[in-house]
Chain A
Amino acid sequence: MRIGVVTFPGSLDDRDAVRAVRIAGGTPVSLWHDDADIKGVDAVVLPGGFSYGDYLRCGAIARFSPVMNEIIRLAGPPDQVSSGLPVLGICNGFQVLTESHLLPGALVRNEKQQFICRDQKLRIERTSTAWTNGYAEGQEIVIPLKNGEGGFIADESTLDRLEGEGRVVARYLDVNPNGSRRDIAGISNASGTVVGLMPHPEHATEAGYGPEANNGTDGLAFFTSALQGVLSA
């Protein structure tokens, strides 16, 4: 199974995402921001980092890159029920997804105005997505969080709709690190193919190099889920 990982100028966690795909048993395929050819991959990861320096607004420039135009086309409208290309946006990738309007809402500067890096506890709330079907509903996991602009916001009606449609994929537990509304750490589109997540599952896929908790591999199922989903599709 081939999973593309996009590199924008300023992407930082692209090599980590490639490694995570490989550890999960998939075949990672590097995609380049300036090239609309996504090489027929079965799913795409938009990695963390500071695409184009995050100038103007996080993800605002990346959204207009040739590769994103193609990904937006293949992912399909956010409310469509039939499934399009599975896309996981992590951190900066989540920001790119909201800027692309593949997901609603926006990510704003952390409540405390500081960059924060911590081992973050989450609860997986939706498992019927391309990226979380390997988790149990309500499963608590610990993966790294590291962001300066990770506060998820949306208007109340959007938040209500996301909750009502079961599109909150993960919520922060114990500590809300960045002031996200309703402790939201990740959301999905209606069909569950497109998921945006502020914390970093790709940094918790290999024992010894992730958080201390649970062997540091709590993030791996994001990637094995995608392979599972792709296989059964």
Chain B
Amino acid sequence: MTSDSINTYGENLDALGASAPLTEQQRQALDTVDKARKTPDVDQPWAALGMKADEYEAVRKILDRRPTGSELAMYSVMWSEHCSYKSSKVHLRQFGEKTTPAMQEHLLVGIGENAGVVDIGQGWAVTFKVESHNHPSYVEPYQGAATGVGGIVRDIISMGARPVAVMDPLRFGALDHPDTHRVLPGIVAGVGGYGNCLGLPNIGGEVSFDPCYQGNPLVNALAVGTLRHEDIHLANARGNGNLVVLFGARTGGDGIGGASILASDTFTEGGPTKRPAVQVGDPFAEKVLIECCLDLFKADVVQGIQDLGAAGLSCAFSELASNGDGGMLVHLDRAPLRDSTLAPEEILMSESQERMMAVVTPEDLPGFLAITTRWDVEATVMGEVTETGRLVVLWHGETIVDVPPRSVAHDGPVYDRPYARPDWMDVRQAAVPDLLPRPQNDTELGELVVTMAGTPNLASRSWVTDQYDRYVQGNTAQAMPDDAGVLRVDESSGLGVAIATDCNQRFAALDPYTGAQLALAEAYRNVGVAGGRPLAVTDCLNFGSPEDPAVMWQFAEAVRGLADGCQQLGIPVTGGNVSLYNQTGTTAIHPTPVVGVLGVLQDVARRTPSGWKAPGAQLFLLGTTRAEFSGSEWAWSQHEHLGGLPPAVDLEAERALASVMATAADEGLVFAAHDLSDGGLAQALVEASLRHGVGASVSLDAALERDGVDAFTLLFAESTARAVVAVKPEAVEQFTQACAGNGVPLVELGTTGGDSLAVAGRFSLTLDELRASHEATLPAALNA
């Protein structure tokens, strides 16, 4: 297709790839707007498409007639929980309402677009977002996970940014459970296979095991992109007469799910029946699409852009129109297909991957097509922007959709579902871990340190992370197993970002409000400890069924907690995703509000790594330790105990800690710092020692005396707002003063060095035995 054969839109259908005219039989079977007016009483499969009776009635009211099959397809998929947020919307509003003007200072694009955009200075902006792909990954682990990465990366591209990294918070059932073995290798290979092939470094994430995820693995994927302020693009279709161009992969029958019900209603003879519900990814096509989009942005030939993800063309047409001038006329039969037998309903709902839609002026079209041709990317003019206020879809000249686009994209149903704190929370919170057996002497304490280093949740993740490329693009300053991923954004100044994602689902199970804040606190701390100044938040809220008032209560509490926490820390939620119905039968997963925090570093060369590389550094413990074991890794891994109230949140203390660590990084006061979270002080010391094979000699006495706790508590409690810091000997006084100035308690622990972790007067563990425990667990379970 040459660019000059279609510089006048709509007059050369052959050149646009229009298919053969409909046969008379096909025309008669086609459900058009005309037919819908004449046959108001046709029985429609709204229930099978997941719509409620009142939702179907609402559509009829909006249209003042019954919807056509294609319209029903669009409404059903756009009004689904996944696309419309109908159960969560009333709660999610808090993220906007609790964002103060001060918090918006660095926000260039907020919630509602494909991804939020944050100003990081020097004219640079960063866009980042985390999304779920849980259910597809359960059904088909490799493709589900792969297309999860693909989808979030397209969100980043559609903001006008170059994708620069991915992260993957993953949650599985118990490590030794057969379902974990069924899904984990495929999910990890899928995340790696797709991300590696896109040339995106994987710089962090999580791998967590808990029986609550058996049958409901959580695959969340975060992507980060960078752009100059002036390069921001938005998803809207403006400018009467501007062209709507679909480009990228062809549309196939994958990811259709319920639409085939409609298809089999309208096309019975020789047509497709049931279609696969999980999409199939082609990372090569996406890589080419990324480079193609970046060239399009550079040539300034794109007015508006939208990626095709959930709900495919239904979403792209209706959202672009709704966000823009409000009208659009498209010829659906021009869509290039992989399977020529697809019905219009299926084409509208297909979730085929690696597709984008752009709004282009007629003058820019030749330039646009020259670039897509250079990248061998197929591009098709589907129609144009109009001022009619209607989204009109034609199929071989027949009108099959004629709707107000806003009613599809934004004015879907909103449910304020009943929620109530379940009575069993009382039982759960009353079951404190105080009486669980503890180590009886220092020898047992030392043995516990070794054992804990190898629990499924604390053991080395390298079996997983070694399958991810962390080097590509050459800007990865820090990746797993460090606390936060750190990326250089500007190669001349060293300006960059630190990102961490966290959630302790056990804490959230004990108290969803506090649990969400603890997830925020941990991600914030990880970014802060690495030397980043936290700027923005993204979240992926994974919960059970919203129709269960107990789950809905967990959700409402978690959102409230997160929104309050963000307000207190002064960093806005810029976007994210909600995944509901993560449950098997009546058993929901633990509430799992995964929080990603992004911070900025003026020069990533000054970041603080989480392990010490050399002997002779002074070790300090920052923060205060209390006897907080409820929901801890110790209680769970050693006693399968989950009860009580989670550790207290102290966001002011987190802010003070992050402030000290930012100063320490800027002024070069420290060699290393590791936040304390799962597994407490013991695990932090183990990880920081194993990181570069340099041990430590510590004494607990000063901390024990100050905090009034015993050695077991100091080593394994999971109190928040703490970090272990390896301070440069010559900077001890300056660092101490920085802590005092910010009100951060600090106590001396000892020094780095040697080939063991020695706790004075109690035990000494060789790094070899710690490493053996730490590194054996995942390979032993997963290579079996």
Pair B192/A200 contact, Cβ less than 8 Å? no
Closest to A145 in B: B471
Pair B477/A212 contact, Cβ less than 8 Å? no
The segment from A9-17, A37-45, A94-102 found at the interface with B is A9-17
Q: Among the listed B287, B475, B491, which residue makes an inter-chain contact with A10, where contact means beta carbons less than 8 Å apart?
A: B287
Question: A209 CA to B488 CA in the complex, in Å?
Answer: 9
Q: Among the listed B189, B471, B473, which residue makes an inter-chain contact with A114, where contact means beta carbons less than 8 Å apart?
A: B189
Q: Write out the residue numbers on chain B whose beta carbons fall within 8 Å of the beta carbon of A182.
A: none
Q: A16-B473, A50-B197, A208-B605 are in contact. Are A115 and B189 (CB under 8 A)?
A: yes
Produce 1/0 per residue, A106-131, CB < 8 A to B: 00000000111110000000000000
Pair A114/B375 contact, Cβ less than 8 Å? no
The 4 closest A-B pairs by CB, nearest first: A53-B284, A12-B199, A203-B471, A16-B474
Q: Write out the residue numbers on chain B whose beta carbons fall within 8 Å of the beta carbon of A200.
A: 471
Q: Among the listed A10, A15, A115, A206, which residue makes an inter-chain contact with B473, where contact means beta carbons less than 8 Å apart?
A: A15
Q: A13-B199, A146-B196, A209-B476 are in contact. Are A117 and B470 (CB under 8 A)?
A: yes
Closest to A211 in B: B471
The listed residue with most B CB atoms (<10 A of its CB), out of A13, A115, A118, A200, is: A115
Interface residues of A, count at CB 8 A: 30
Q: Among the listed B287, B376, B468, which residue makes an inter-chain contact with A12, where contact means beta carbons less than 8 Å apart?
A: B287
Q: Write out the residue numbers on chain B whose beta carbons fall within 8 Å of the beta carbon of A2.
A: none
Pair B473/A118 contact, Cβ less than 8 Å? no
Interface residues in chain A, defined as those with a beta carbon under 8 Å from any beta carbon in chain B: 9-10, 12-13, 15-16, 19, 48-50, 52-55, 114-118, 144, 146, 148, 200, 202-203, 206, 208-210, 212
Write 16 A-B pairs (CB below 8 A) sorted by A numbering.
A10-B197, A10-B287, A12-B198, A12-B472, A15-B474, A16-B473, A16-B474, A49-B199, A50-B284, A50-B287, A53-B283, A115-B193, A115-B467, A116-B467, A146-B472, A210-B471
Pair B471/A10 contact, Cβ less than 8 Å? no
Pair B472/A16 contact, Cβ less than 8 Å? yes
Interface residues of B, count at CB 8 A: 35
Question: A13 CA to B201 CA in the complex, in Å?
Answer: 11
Question: A117 CA to B465 CA in the complex, in Å?
Answer: 8
- How far, in Å, is A172 (CB) from chain B's closest CB? 15
- How far, in Å, is A44 (CB) from chain B's closest CB? 19
Pair B474/A117 contact, Cβ less than 8 Å? no
Produce 1/0 per residue, B267-305, CB < 8 A to A: 000000000000000111101100100000000000000
Q: A9-B376, A10-B288, A12-B287 are in contact. Are A116 and B466 (CB under 8 A)?
A: yes
Q: Write out the residue numbers on chain B whose beta carbons fall within 8 Å of the beta carbon of A208.
A: 477, 604-605
B692 interface residue (CB < 8 Å to A): yes
- How far, in Å, is A219 (CB) from chain B's closest CB? 11
Closest to B196 in A: A115
B325 interface residue (CB < 8 Å to A): no
The secondary-structure label for the interface of chain B is: mixed
Q: A9-B376, A13-B199 are in contact. Are A117 and B468 (CB under 8 A)?
A: yes
Closest to A200 in B: B471
Q: Among the listed A13, A19, A52, A117, which residue makes an inter-chain contact with B466, where contact means beta carbons less than 8 Å apart?
A: A117
Q: A114-B189, A117-B466, A209-B488 are in contact. Are A146 and B375 (CB under 8 A)?
A: no
Pair B199/A55 contact, Cβ less than 8 Å? no
Question: A182 CA to B488 CA in the complex, in Å?
Answer: 38
Pair A209/B199 contact, Cβ less than 8 Å? no
Question: A10 CA to B488 CA in the complex, in Å?
Answer: 23
Question: A49 CA to B604 CA in the complex, in Å?
Answer: 26
- How far, in Å, is A42 (CB) from chain B's closest CB? 23
Question: A117 CA to B199 CA in the complex, in Å?
Answer: 13
Closest to B607 in A: A208
- How far, in Å, is B782 (CB) from chain A's closest CB? 10
Closest to A118 in B: B466
Pair B467/A117 contact, Cβ less than 8 Å? yes
Q: Among the listed B199, B284, B469, B692, which residue makes an inter-chain contact with A52, where contact means beta carbons less than 8 Å apart?
A: B284
Q: Write out the residue numbers on chain B whose beta carbons fall within 8 Å of the beta carbon of A144.
A: 471
Q: Write out the residue numbers on chain A whose beta carbons fall within 8 Å of the beta carbon of B475.
A: 209
Question: A15 CA to B201 CA in the complex, in Å?
Answer: 14
Pair A19/B284 contact, Cβ less than 8 Å? no
Question: A146 CA to B474 CA in the complex, in Å?
Answer: 13
Q: Write out the residue numbers on chain B whose beta carbons fall within 8 Å of the beta carbon of A209.
A: 471, 474-477, 488
- How far, in Å, is B199 (CB) from chain A's closest CB? 3
Q: Write out the residue numbers on chain A whose beta carbons fall within 8 Å of the beta carbon of B196.
A: 115, 146, 148
Q: Write out the residue numbers on chain B whose beta carbons fall within 8 Å of the beta carbon of A212.
A: 613, 692
Produce 1/0 per residue, B179-223, CB < 8 A to A: 000000000010011001111000000000000000000000000
Question: A48 CA to B375 CA in the complex, in Å?
Answer: 19
Q: Write out the residue numbers on chain A whose beta carbons fall within 8 Å of the beta carbon of B192.
A: 115
Closest to A114 in B: B467
Pair B288/A146 contact, Cβ less than 8 Å? no
- How far, in Å, is B4 (CB) from chain A's closest CB? 21
Q: Write out the residue numbers on chain A whose beta carbons fall within 8 Å of the beta carbon of B189.
A: 114-115
